[in-house]
Each structure stands twice: as structure tokens, then as C-alpha cells.
Amino acid sequence: MADDKTKTAPQDAQRVNANEDYEVEYWSKKFGCTPEQLKAAVRKAGVMAKDVEAELKRR
């Protein structure tokens, strides 16, 4: 099943999908960071939103 690109919020609100541009945009705005910072946090902390948020707060 393909993602509906008209949606701006993630399908799974507990996981960050850094491979979908609309999710990167959503999470970057939510966490107040750049897309690059978000992707770096996902690489370091994993895909769980709470872990990504904690990683971004450490910086």
C-alpha cells in the first residue's frame, strides 16, 4: 500500500520515517530542528520519536 502524499502527519506517530520528505518536514517542525539535524538524530538514536526527541534535546 503506497503512502498518501497528501497527508502531512506521519502514519505512525511513534516512529520517525526519515526516508519520506513529508515526514521529515513534519518532525523537523515538531522538534524545531533542521532536516539534517533530524536525520542525524535518527541515525544515532533510532526511529522511535521519543528517542529522537531526547537526542535532539541533548545537542
Burial class of 37 by CB neighbour count within 10 A (0 to 12, 13 to 18, 19+): middle
Element at 38 (helix H, strand E): helix 35-45
pLDDT in tens, 1-59: 455 666 667 878 899 999 999 999 999 999 999 999 999 999 999 999 999 999 999 97
- The pLDDT of residue 15 is 96
CA distance linking residue 44 with residue 36, whole number of Å: 12
- What pLDDT does residue 25 have? 96
* pLDDT, position 1: 46
- Residue from 59, 13, 14 nearest 36 by CA: 59
- pTM for this model (two decimals): 0.83
d(CA 28, CA 38): 6
